[in-house]
Amino acid sequence: MTTKTVVSMVLVVLLLPMTAAAQKKGSIELRSISEVEVATTNAKGEKEVKRVDAAASKVIPGDVVIFTTQYANVDKKPAENVVIINPVSEHVVYVENSAEGPGMKIEFSVDQGKRYAAPDKLVKTDAKGVSRRAAAREYTHIRWTLGKPLAPGGKGSVSFRARVK
């Protein structure tokens, strides 16, 4: 193994997480998108808010990023018990009430995905054993559960907003 090949391997390792991915394993297709809203003025002088790929935009601490997951059943059979899980990255904080998903039951976790519950039933227990309702900023994972089978060709998307720490 030459130095050159090692260097290029290292580069490949570094580049891997950068590539946004649409994966097709099995027969559900999943796509993750991260976007920011950019305010612009159009040709008519009206203010518009556009969504721009976060990787092709300026993102600094304090900015809000919209994470969207698109799903599609590309098989010929219905998919049952479809569940999507989004971990909330350690560098961002979930924005309260921002999770959306038509036809989905939305639940959150504050313990790295061990347990999920609706916001009003999520509790955090401190060292003294005192429990309180968990704050949105403490959410570590979001779980979306589709209530009915996803028909062949069926698709949809779920999204949430998070602020960069």
Partner 1 sequence: MKRTTRYILTAFIALVILAAITERPARAAGTPAGVTISGQATATYDYDASPQPPITAVTSFVVDRKIDPIVTTTNNSYVSVAPGPASQALTFRVTNNGNATQDYSLAAANAADPFGGADNFDGANVRVFVETNGTPGYQAGADTATFIDELVSDAATTVYIMADIPAGQATDDIAAYALLATAHDGGAAGLGALTAATAGANSQLGVDMVFADAAGPADGARDGAHSAASAYRVAGAAVTLLKSAVAISAGNQPVTGATIRYTIAVTVSGAGTAAGVVISDPIPVNTTFVAGTLTLNNGLLTDAADTDAGDVNGTTAGAVTVRLGDLNSASPVQTITFEVNIN
Confirm or reject binding of residue 38 to partner 1 (CB under 8 A).
yes
Partners of residue 28 on adjacent β-strands: 25, 73
With CB under 8 A as the contact rule, the residue among 8, 48, 51, 87 that binds partner 1 is 87
Phi, psi of 115 (to 5 degrees): -130, 145
- SS3 state of residue 155: strand
Residue 136 engages partner 1 in binding (rule: CB under 8 A):
no
Name the residue nearer to partner 1 (CB basis): 94 or 122.
94
Using the minimum distance from each CB to partner 1, give the nearer residue, 80 or 120. Answer: 80
The reply to whether 60 sits near partner 1 by the rule CB under 8 A is yes
Residue with tokens 């504050």: 110
Cβ-contact 107, 146 below 8 angstroms: no
Residue 37 touches partner 1, criterion: CB under 8 A: no
Taking a C-beta distance cutoff of 8 angstroms, is the pair 94, 142 a contact? yes
> Are 123 and 134 a contacting pair, CB within 8 Å?
yes
- Positions in the binding site for partner 1 (CB under 8 A): 1-3, 6-7, 10, 17-18, 20-23, 25-34, 38, 40, 52-62, 65, 67, 69, 71, 75, 77, 79-87, 89-92, 150, 164-165
